[in-house]
Structure 1
Amino acid sequence: MSEAAAPMIAAHALRKTYGALVAVDGIDFAVHRGEAFGVLGANGAGKSSTMRMLACVSPITGGTLRILGRDAATDGAAIRARLGVVPQDDTVDTDLTVRENLLIYGRYFGIPWKVLRRRSDELLDFARLREKAGESVAALSGGMRRRLTIARALINEPDIVLLDEPTTGLDPQARHLLWERLFQLKQDGVTLLLTTHYMDEAEQLCDRLVVMDAGRIVAEGTPAGLIERYTTREVLELRFAAHEKQTMVEKAQGLVGRVEELPDRLLLYTGDGEATLTAVHARGVRPVTALVRRSTLEDVFLTLTGRTLVD
């Protein structure tokens, strides 16, 4: 297989254990050049352990992991030189200016000052931080710091960028601006691998993704493909007054193949939400509110991993 056709990342039977704890339990996946690949999972599913192995900062316990054609078990330093890493928590230096963060981080890669100055200017424009270049990082908003963290991860012109929960804690405007920056990277041919708790983010950014549960991959595919495979085209959400709920729930049973009862509403998974709502009314069911929506990746995620909180 040519270098261009070979996967940028190839994991086979990949395992990570911490004593008796199995964090990653024999997973297989491949990420191709220019692809945005997502890793979804609840807390404790094995996402962070997987990301640390991909970043070559945590040794694999078993299986194989090849990144950029190299063996992660033996060529970690060479792989790290070609990676960009955006950790879950921002690690920019608050005692330095925005530009200094880029310049000094770039020196760790041995990049000449002349090249660094040019790249820092390009990345300040990319991150929309040019006007903040001379300001202390301590004065930046959370969204600006996150954009700086991503810009800093690009200073070595990496082949792969690993992003761990890139927009956690940001307001909607900052999230959407970051999505624009990440989409631009993908358009430029950079390979992205990200973890996220935001299902809408995964639908927006990811070409393909895997869902992890208890250290294993339980589903893999495109967002649209997973929705088609694991849930219905639409979901009818019905809300009732508290004193009527149980009676109405009993009347609605059997209308569709899958009905899910939640504390505040009833979910009916259906191929045609409006037709199902008509059938609901025909049975004398009168919800306080009724909403027909398309199925989402969140429906898939909860179907595969459940609604029980995992600590």
Structure 2
Amino acid sequence: MERHEDFLYGTVELASFFAERKREDKLNKTSSKVYIRLSENLFRCKKYDLNFQITKTLIERIQEFPDIYIEEIAYAAKTTPASITKFCKKIGYQSFKEMRTDLDVYSNELMMDQFEGNKNKEDFLENVLNKEYQINQLIFETLDADQTRRIAKSIKEKSKIAIFGNNYSFAGVNFFRELLSQEGYLVMELNRSAERQLIESVLQECDAVFIISLTGDWVLENKELFINQSMPNYLLTQRKAEDFGNLFDEIITFDTFDFLLLSNYYSQKIIHLWTIYFVMFLKN
């Protein structure tokens, strides 16, 4: 009897194993979270260096995920496993294992997901617009209206505003600048990687400053810039507010959208929609 039960248990385990393998085989790995993150990192590469080599290698071997070893990637990228681990942490993973298994897709949020292939172009377009509306509505529902109204009220009488971002957030920074400029504000749109003297000069001259740092790493590395600042300063980030202590007057945190911010498309969408929300209160 025991041997029979062991056999049945082993059969179930085997069936479960093959079912999992079948599920993995059906994964669209080029729509996975890790692929999106690697692709965006490749876009930011400007030098033919180790960062580029590792990123390129991982993208080329994406179809072998999750069944690929760190030693294989290190060999192909002509580096060491330690360098691969360091790279994984740099792009937001705790380990190589966490990176190679991050194969879920945004199945409930993908723009082209769940559309039938036999629809005419009018129906297809309507479905795309409806999906876009649903995503926007989801984001708007989780934005903090009271905080946004409070920030808008605090800068209504200001005239010169600085917005700091980086290459990753440029679209959001530029859109923010455009809307504020239309409201009559003089806006300084700056890259956080600029020389320290330039950043300090702008901070001294402006009436208010907005920092866009989704990871928050740049802020924590340069927090002395924001200590004892006299003008209102605001941070837009994915990180939790308590990580920054009292450095900012207000911290607009998007930590609710953790799964969205793994994609540049969604992170920029959130920044855009918050900006629209903010300017709406600014007009009232």
Calculate the TM-score normalised by the size of structure 2: 0.23
Query: Which of the two has greater strand per residue?
Result: 1
